[in-house]
Structures are given as structure tokens and as C-alpha cells.
Structure 1
Amino acid sequence: MAGFSVDIIQVRDTSFNIGLKFGQYIHHKPLLKVLDSATRPEIDYKSYHSIFSGLAPHLLDELEGLAYGLNVPTEKATALFSGYDLPKTEAMGCSAIVTKDYYVRNYDFSPVLYDGIFSLVQPEEAFATAGYNLQVLGRHDGINQAGLALGLHFVSNHGYSKGISPWTAIRMVLDTCSTVDQAIQLLKEIPHAACYNFSLGDRNGHIAVVEAGPEKVMVRSGEAALSCVNHFQNESLANQNRVSIDGSLKRNDHLQALTQKHLTHEEMFAHFKDRHSPLFFTDYDDFFGTLHTLSYGFEDSRIMTTIAQSDQVLDFNFADWVNGENLPDHKLSGKI
């Protein structure tokens, strides 16, 4: 086993200055070279700018700040961090349960393509958010100050096209939407590059799974609980699933059984993060190892999160952070 860590970054500022600070943070990090090798040298800047201007204009400012912090042209920063027009990514696995009381999920992939950042960001121009960064600007998953929680789940590259990555879509939703209904509407407007599920819930007790791809977006709703894994469950989208979804089906059966046990937030979080759980994986070399567990209680604004095989749990009230109470923690340490 090897050591594994995530930095905790807290920033309250304008979107430009948030980008500037993240640019300065990653300037000499290995992450920069990883992103440079995983993205295109340049993208269609006009198309990107048009989409972002209409959906989340403040992120244009953050990208400008990233460029300034790295001392690179804006066009280069856009290719590196925007999540627009990316080459296809490998399959990733994620499992989530959403109830009217809480949201809990695991993110499974490879540490090679992992930012290793948990950020709490409070821009002047958007909602405050907490979540795990992906491609710096984007988020694997997260929560915002309005009490909205959501995360991504890879399905397939069926119909892959020039469009927005799911982690950038997550960021757009967290920054601008306060309810599940608003999130669904925005996810229907975003031009998706690939097929992904988005699991989401809000403090009003509304929960849903958005099954989204370049060709169509469908919604699964629920009153008590919903499970979400790595295949579309809507029959009209079944032809867009990967050929082999046995693992995803097995995890979904396990999640469905869990919903019948009526576990508390703490109990469900403990089950997801337990390395002996059917939801915890260690196939890191094959892009399927559990990297982090994230949960949120809609009633009490409680975030609990940890990384792979860590004895450390970050447990705090997000509403208190939004009101100015910074966390004393700076790093999460675990093992893979």
C-alpha cells in the first residue's frame, strides 16, 4: 500500500481571484503536467466562450484568473481546465444513495487522474460550494450553500461529441442552482460530451437521477430513496449503456437492499467508506479503486468526507463555514 493524500483548500474571493489562487497553487504541482497530457493543445475558444457566457459567466473570470496565476495565455488555460471538448476518458465507477435526509457516494477511479483537492469556495458571484476538484475548475461531486448535493457517474462514451464534461456541468449546477428542479433544467440545457448519470438531492426533500447524454436527457425521480451507479435505467436509453454492466447491476442491487434498511446518515457513510464493503474497490491499476467518500445531511447541513482507507473523517457544518467559520484542517491522509 502507498500513501495517498488530499489537500483541503478554502477560498473566499472574487471568481477571478479564486482562479488566480488555484493557478498559483498548482503552478509547480505534478497535476499540471497530467492535465497537459490529458487535454487538447487548443480548443474552439469561441464556442467555449459562448456556452460559458450563457450558463455560468463567472467561470470565465475564474479561468482568466487561472491563466494569470500560471502566467499562460487564456486560450491555454481554457484548454487545460474548462472541461470543454476533451478527449475521451477511461471508464470510472461511482455509487450513490440519495434520500430525503442525506446524500452519500463513493468515487472510484485511478489516482493518476485525480486532482487530490477538496475545496471550499465562496465566490462573490455564485453560491458557496464544497467538493472534490476535477481538472481544477470542475467537481466530481459537491454541495452548495442552498443545500443542493450532486455527483457524477460515468455510463458510456456513446455518441461522444464536442461538449461539456460532467465535472464542469457539476460545477455549473452547484454554483448557480438552489433546487433539484433548477438543476434538472440546467442539465437539460448543457451540451453533454458523453453519457453520464447525475445523482442529486436538495434540502426540500426532492431527489432525482438525471440520465444525460449528447442525444437525450431523461429524469428518474423518487419520494423516499434513489440509487445511482454506472448504467442508464430508463428503457429508452438502454442502448447507450456499455455492453457489460454486470458490476453496475450488482452494486445497484446492493444499494437497493440498503435503502430497505433505513440506515442513518452516519451508518450509511460508515458502510460506504468501509474497505470491506461491497461498495469499496481497490482495482486502482484498472481505473476502479475507491478514492473518496462524500456525504451530506440535508436537515443539519452536515458534511462528512474521507479518502481511501483513512482514519481521518472531515466532519463539519457547512452552513457554519458559509457564515465565515474556516476549518482547521489542511489535509486528508489515507492509503491505496
Structure 2
Amino acid sequence: MQQVKSVVTEFRGNHYDFGYAQGEWMKGTLMLKNREREWRIRRPRFDVDIEETKQMFNEFAPKIWDELTGLQDSLEMSMTQVLQNFGGYRVYAKDSGCSIFTADDFLVRNYDYHPATYDGRLTFFQPDDGGYATMAPVSRVTGRMDGMNEKGLTMGYNFMHRKNPGDGFVCSMIGRLILETCRDVEEAVKLLKAIPHRSSFSYVLLDKRGITQIVEVTPREINVREHHYCTNHFEVLTHENRKVLTDSQERMTAMTAQVNDGLTAVQAFKVMNDTTAGIFSDKYSSWSGTIHTSCYFPNKLKMHIALGGDMEPVELDFNSWLEGAPLPLTEIKGQLDTHLKFASE
């Protein structure tokens, strides 16, 4: 059993300065060395086209390009290197897990992936040059794997498959675009229909009105459905599913049998985080171990999160922070049943 932690950071200001600050933070971690080692082991299966990527960001989220420029200046990297590592466009995806349930007033999810890809960072960001303020765990520095914005829009995504990828944004950057540019489910669905997608995922959305939509996405087609459960297989675009869905279906069965809208958020969180309930996964070396369980409350603008299983969650109050209160803590501690380290360690 390994002790782990995720640092909690905050930033109020423009995107360029935010990018520069993140670059300075990375210099004090092993993240860059770990990324270099990863590329030596696993050759990139994508091309970097600076002008095309810039054009896409300028169309959908121009200020995030400013953030990438800030990263470039801080790290003294070429833009090609910045985009390869943090651009979130045209990136190859590994298999992973994840399970999500929504009720009218909360979204609870298990984020399942490989620890070496996990930044170990949760950021509060309030831009003053455009875009909504967000509170979310960080993925690949510039991306977000789940989270909530100041309007109460909440998002999480689940991997489906990596066959026949296209040119487009990856899941973590799409999560960032949703949270920073959309105020409700309708706007998020509209964005998901408009942007190009690299890989196949389901995006689960919940807003303050209690509206939930699951958007099944591939580089070829998109379907929007109303449902409250999601693991790692499509329910409508079934022709796009992987051939082997046993693990995803087992987690779906375990979740639907134990988690429902009759439970409180605290009860639902406990079941999702319970290492014996059949939803939490310990398959870390197979890229599908549960790293964190998170629960978002759109109407309260609060979040519960725990690293590892069988843990008591930490509460983060986004609304208080938006009103100017300082962060109540600087790190979240937990434990994972694996020797694999986080990307920043």
C-alpha cells in the first residue's frame, strides 16, 4: 500500500500568467523527466501541427492558447514540445476504466487510469480574461478529467475505445473546454457536437437544474441520451463498442444494483469508494485502477474527493473560494494499493 497525495492549488488572473505559473510549478516536480521517459518507452502515435492546433483553440477557446504560450515561455520549450506534452490535440489514448452516477443534485464518479499519468494536482482557477471559474483535478497540466464550474455545470468522462482515432481534441482538453466555456448542459452538448474528437468517450453532464445528459462520442458520430449510469461501453452506439466488455458490464451491474437516487450523496460516495463493492478497481498496472472518487454538488458549489479506496472524503467549498476565501487545505492525502508513482513524483 502506497501513501499518495494531491496538491491543491489556486490561481486568479489571466491565462498566460496561469500557464507560466504552472510551468514554474512543474520545475519543482519530476513531471517533465517522467514525460521524457514515457516518450522514450512509448513512441507518439500522432503528429503535431502547430498552425492547425492554434486555429482550433482560436475557434473554441483562444485563451487556452495563451496558457500554452505561458507554459512555453516558463519551460523554455519549443511549441512543438509543449503541444506534444500538454496541447490536448491529436493525442493517442490508452485503455482505461471509470464509473459515473448522477442524481438530481450530485454527480459521483470513480476516475480509473494509470497512476503514472496522474498529475496529483487539483486546481481552482478564476480567469480574469474570459471563461468561467473552475474547480477540478488536473490531467496533463492543461486538461481536466472531471470538475465543476462557477455556474454549477459538472462534467466527467469515461473511455470507450481507441480504435480508428481522428484528428481532434482529447478527452481531458475537451473536459477543460466544457467547464471553461459552457454554462449548462445544453451549451455543453452544443460544444461536443461542434468540436473535432480524437477518440471515443462518453461525457456525462449535470447542471444546477438537475438535468443530466450522457453524450456518446466517436470521431465519426455523436448521440445524446438521458441516463444516470455510465461505465465503459456505449448503450446506443453499440457498433462502436470494444469486443470485450466484461469488466465494464460487471461494474455497471454492481453500480445499478447498489447506487440509486434513493441514496444520499454520502451513501453513494461510500459505495463507489468501497473496495469490496465491485465498482472500485485495483487494476492499476492495466491502466484501469481507481485513483480518485469525486462527488460534485452543483447547487452548493461543493466537492467531495478521496484518493484511493475506503477513504473518508475531503470537502472543498468552491463557492467560498469564489467569494474570496482562502483554500482550506493545500493537499489531499490517500493511499493506493500499487507501487506505481504519480506523474509529478
Pair in the same fold by TM > 0.5: yes
Say which SS state the counterpart of residue 226 (structure 2) adopts.
Answer: strand
249-258 vs 326-335, which moves further: 249-258
Q: Which residue of 1 aligns with 2:298?
A: 298
Q: Which residue of 2 aligns with 1:230?
A: 232
203-212 vs 158-167, which moves further: 158-167
Establish whether residue 49 from structure 1 lines up as the match of residue 51 from structure 2.
Answer: no
Identity %: 28
Q: Which residue of 2 aligns with 1:109?
A: 113
CA-CA distance at 1:64 after TM superposition: 0.7
CA contact (8 A) 2:304 2:316 kept: yes
Establish whether residue 212 from structure 1 lines up as the match of residue 212 from structure 2.
Answer: no
Change (3 A) 1:49 1:261: closer
CA-CA distance at 1:261 after TM superposition: 5.8
What's the TM-score, normalizing by structure 1? Answer: 0.94
CA contact (8 A) 1:35 1:135 kept: no
Q: Which residue of 2 aligns with 1:71?
A: 76
Render the CA deviation track for 1:30-55: whole Å, top value 9, x for unaligned.
Answer: 22233343484961011101111000
Written as runs of structure 1 = structure 2, the 5 A alignment for 1:247-286 is: 247-260=247-260, 262-286=262-286
Say which SS state the counterpart of residue 136 (structure 2) adopts.
Answer: strand
176-185 vs 274-283, which moves further: 274-283
CA contact (8 A) 2:148 2:298 kept: no
Q: Which residue of 1 aligns with 2:154?
A: 149
Tell me which amino acid in the other structure corresponds to 2:293. T
What's the TM-score, normalizing by structure 2? Answer: 0.91
CA-CA distance at 1:276 after TM superposition: 2.4
Render the CA deviation track for 1:224-244: whole Å, top value 9, x for unaligned.
Answer: xx101101100xx21211111
CA-CA distance at 1:159 after TM superposition: 1.9
Render the CA deviation track for 1:6-62: whole Å, top value 9, x for unaligned.
Answer: 111111111111111101001242222333434849610111011110000010011
Q: Determine the C-alpha separation between the residues in 2 that align with 1:134 and 1:122.
A: 18
Render the CA deviation track for 1:82-121: whole Å, top value 9, x for unaligned.
Answer: 11122x3221100000121110000011111111111111
Tell me which amino acid in the other structure corresponds to 2:242. R
Written as runs of structure 1 = structure 2, the 5 A alignment for 1:37-186 is: 37-38=38-39, 40=44, 43-86=48-91, 88-124=92-128, 125-186=130-191
CA contact (8 A) 1:143 1:150 kept: yes
In structure 1, the gaps of 5 or more residues are: none
CA contact (8 A) 1:101 1:297 kept: yes
Higher relative contact order at CA 8 Å, sep ≥6: structure 1 or structure 2? 2
Say which SS state the counterpart of residue 58 (structure 2) adopts.
Answer: helix
CA-CA distance at 1:259 after TM superposition: 4.7
Change (3 A) 1:194 1:52: same
Change (3 A) 1:73 1:256: same
Tell me which amino acid in the other structure corresponds to 1:270. K
Q: Determine the C-alpha separation between the residues in 2 that align with 1:213 and 1:167.
A: 15
In structure 2, the gaps of 5 or more residues are: 337-345
CA contact (8 A) 1:231 1:245 kept: yes
Q: Which residue of 2 aligns with 1:193?
A: 198
